[in-house]
Amino acid sequence: MKRPESTIGRMPVSLPAAPPVMSRLPVGAATHCPYCALQCGMNVTPDGITPRDDIPANAGGLCQKGWTAGELLASPHRLTTPLLHGEPVGWDEALDFVAARLGSIQREHGRDAVAVFGGGGLTNEKAYQLGKFARVALRTSQIDYNGRFCMSSAAAASNRAFGLDRGLPFPITDLARADVVLLAGGNVAETMPPFVRHFNKAGRLIVADPRVTATAKLAGLHLQLTPGTDLALALGLLHIAIADGYADLAYLAERVTGFEAVRDSVAAWWPERVERVTGVPVARMREAAHALGTARRAVILTARGAEQHAKGTDTATAFINLALALGLPGREGSGYGCVTGQGNGQGGREHGQKADQLPGYRRIDDPAARAHVAGVWGVDPADLPGPGRSAYELLDALGTPSGPKAMLLFGSNPVVSAPRSRHIAERLAALDLLVVSDLVRSETAELATVVLPTTQWAEEAGTLTNLEGRVLLRRQAVAPPSGVRSDLSVLASLAGRLGHVFSDDPRTVFDELRRASAGGPADYAGITYERIAAETGVFWPCPDEDHPGTPRPFLDRFATPDGRARMIPVEHRPPAEDVDGDYPIYLTTGRVLAHYQSGAQTRRIGPLNQAAPGAFVEMHPDLAERIGVASGDRVRVVGRRGSTEAPARVSPDIRPDTVFMPFHWEGVNRLTNPALDPVSRMPEFKVCAVRVEGAAS
């Protein structure tokens, strides 16, 4: 079998020899990749990009996105001048216009008439300052971010089970010590290839996925379930584990509450029933439960395939219950974790750009939290707004009589990435004012009243927190093009025009973030730029500069009032939109190796476009024969919210009742279902009902 390193590349790829970029590379720097939550270490120099060996997450490896990241620095698609109504203007004219319109809209319609939308790729400093700007300069409650579409369900499940949400509550290198790893709903061999090297050193890999993905092909056991049935699978695995005597009763008595109620609730999920719901044979479920139950060390991981559902929080909870029953969390080399997707998906939700949170992962409706953060910000706690709308609910409300009339948008492209995306584009177009800060003219920026050209990864400094909770330092390696400003500069300039003083210096902002987070669940008080550089990252919580950081926060106790983890009974339920006679096929979505998120960056890089030039519809040969198409034929996928077309890709690697489309191109999210998880407010991206037909019919 070909090992995953074959997809990772070892030869450095030089940056494009464009004079504007080469003149901006006098020294280079050791920094981090602009894409996924591994935050692979890389060196950027005039000679090109090479991987760093000192960052454990990638330890000398990069995927093709990382190798080619330098091309975006020389892209002819870069924005270098503000645009007002599509026409180039100076910075002062653009910012004066924005500030004046924000003021007039709030005076006419109230403070919540202005909304802010952020991104999980923003640095910690930007995420923090964006939340502060919304609550202090605008005093609006209407702020959320695209991380709500990423791992909010796993975060909600971890918070209620463990009292703390950290994607991996252990170093990623612990995976190499596991005898068994179960990955539910993740395809890391394509989404973050250097991750796979940690699996290579581990024992057995079990993958639950409707497709035979690149990751599933590496697994010793593949559980090919029906889309939307991950929760039933987890209940069935727990039923078998308890019935076959694998529950760690001593661990449960010492460290967990709620086991009896969960045990009773899964009694009805006998294996044969689960097979009928999921399509996974009983023998394979028993094999998986036996492998996990007899392993000396085991890890259970969930990712978007299991979590992006209207029952995603309960699904993640069910897998946490399985891990707790087996006695895994809080033991070295074992545990439960969530594979974070976006570059700063962890840090992005910790410091205030989420609708219900303040810096340090504090709740915005907690009086003590409000008092602490207001003290750092020098405002009255009573002046801080309360919780606002979640991401989809906020986008859905734009331009309506009771919704915001203006939006400031940083680091996101919801015209491509949001569910029911055509409707969201209509809502954005209905705004009186849309301001987009971006480095390229994305599909969302095309709708903007004002577009502000911003710096990108190698042109700025700041911190990010990777999927294991390690705070890393992004160093500036390249001077930005003339005419481009950082998001921190944009926020400081707008705040000044609104009567507030904000810093645009990343280190100054980070030092304030440290004070604001002090004492909170995500405590960064002891983390400094100097420590990060010296230690190649520091794990939070880290309450003071003498503290070593916390790689494994649950070794002694969980972050609950009594120190015990909580097991919570949950029940499987069908997808919010199940198949029927009119729409008989499940659609599921995901990523491909060459592209990242909405593709706003990667679709502008030549080698990545050559590797994956456009969307496709992956379907089983039986389905292709039934509708009379072959690979390469254009097909139309039709759902209740719209339709899209793409070439067919016929493969036995997918279930006959399911089609798959990558979401990096505009179109597929016209179809996806905005039904929301009642706890996390996560939309149901991963399953909806469609029909598939030849495009000529």
> pLDDT tier at 604 (50, 70, 90 boundaries)?
very high
Is the confidence at residue 469, as pLDDT, over 60? yes
Is the confidence at residue 22, as pLDDT, over 70? no
CB 641, CB 423: distance < 8 Å: yes
Q: Which pLDDT does position 26 carry in this prediction?
A: 46
Q: According to CATH, where is 2.40.40.20 located in the chain?
A: 585-694
Residue 138 to residue 116: CA distance in whole angstroms: 9
Q: Residues 106-128: pLDDT tens digits?
A: 999 999 999 999 999 999 999 99
Q: In this structure, which amino acid lies at residue 226?
A: T
Taking alpha carbons only, the member of 279, 338, 344 closest to residue 312 is 338
DSSP code, position 670? G
Residue 370 to residue 112: CA distance in whole angstroms: 19
Mean pLDDT of 80-89: 97
- Full-model pTM: 0.94
Q: Residues 206-245: pLDDT tens digits?
A: 999 999 999 999 999 999 999 999 999 999 999 999 999 9
- Angle (CA) 519-507-414 rounded to 5° is 85
Residue 246 to residue 252: CA distance in whole angstroms: 12
For the chain, percent of residues with pLDDT exceeding 90: 92
Is the confidence at residue 28, as pLDDT, over 80? no
Cα–chain-centroid distance for residue 101? 32
Cα–chain-centroid distance for residue 336? 17
Q: Is 116 exposed, middle or buried (0-12, 13-18, 19+ CB in 10 A)?
A: buried
Architecture per CATH, domain 83-150+345-457+484-502, reads as 3-Layer(aba) Sandwich (3.40)
CA distances from 76 to 66, 73, 439, 604 (A): 19, 9, 11, 9
CB 343, CB 122: distance < 8 Å: no
Q: Does domain 585-694 have CATH number 1.10.10.10?
A: no
Is the confidence at residue 10, as pLDDT, over 80? no
Q: Residues 497-522: pLDDT tens digits?
A: 999 999 999 999 999 999 999 999 99
Residue 94 to residue 453: CA distance in whole angstroms: 11
> pLDDT tier at 697 (50, 70, 90 boundaries)?
low
- The angle that helices 124-132 and 506-517 make with each other, rounded to 10 degrees, is 70
Residue 652: Cβ within 10 Å count: 10
Q: Which pLDDT does position 40 carry in this prediction?
A: 96
Q: Residues 452-467: pLDDT tens digits?
A: 999 999 999 999 999 9
Q: Where do the H-state alpha helices sit in 451-595?
A: 487-497, 506-517, 529-535
Q: In this structure, which amino acid lies at residue 363?
A: R
CB 233, CB 225: distance < 8 Å: yes
Element (H, E) at 385: none
Strand order of the β-sheet with 450-453 is: 87-88, 83-84, 450-453, 433-438, 406-410, 114-118, 143-145
Bridge partners for 452 per DSSP: 437
Give the domain 152-339 fold: Dimethylsulfoxide Reductase; domain 2 (3.40.228)
Q: Residues 363-389: pLDDT tens digits?
A: 999 999 999 999 999 999 999 999 999
User: Three-state secondary structure along 12-48?
Assistant: CECCCCCHHHHCCCCCCEEEECCCCCCCCEEEEECCE
List of residues 6+ apart from 20 with CB closer than 8 A: 74, 481
Taking alpha carbons only, the member of 167, 50, 91 closest to residue 470 is 167
CB 133, CB 495: distance < 8 Å: yes
Q: Which pLDDT does position 47 carry in this prediction?
A: 83
Burial 179-197 (b: 16+ CB within 10 A, else e): bbbbbbbbbbbbbbbbbbb
Residue 182 to residue 292: CA distance in whole angstroms: 8
Residue 554 to residue 330: CA distance in whole angstroms: 4
Question: If DSSP codes are grouped into helix, strand and coil, which group holds residue 674?
Answer: strand
69 or 74: which carries more pLDDT confidence? 69
CB 631, CB 650: distance < 8 Å: yes
- The angle that helices 282-294 and 271-278 make with each other, rounded to 10 degrees, is 120
Residue 336 to residue 92: CA distance in whole angstroms: 50
> pLDDT tier at 340 (50, 70, 90 boundaries)?
confident
First to last CA, the chain: 41
> pLDDT tier at 27 (50, 70, 90 boundaries)?
low
Residue 552 to residue 171: CA distance in whole angstroms: 7
Conformation bin of residue 86: beta by default, left when phi > 0, alpha when psi is -120 to 50:
left
Q: What are phi and psi of 679, to 5 degrees?
A: -100, -55
Is the confidence at residue 556, as pLDDT, over 80? yes
Mean pLDDT of 16-22: 35
Average pLDDT value over all residues in the chain: 94
Taking alpha carbons only, the member of 598, 589, 595 closest to residue 446 is 598
Q: According to CATH, where is 3.40.228.10 located in the chain?
A: 152-339
Q: According to CATH, where is 3.40.50.740 located in the chain?
A: 83-150+345-457+484-502
Is the confidence at residue 21, as pLDDT, over 50? no
Length of the chain in terms of residues written: 697
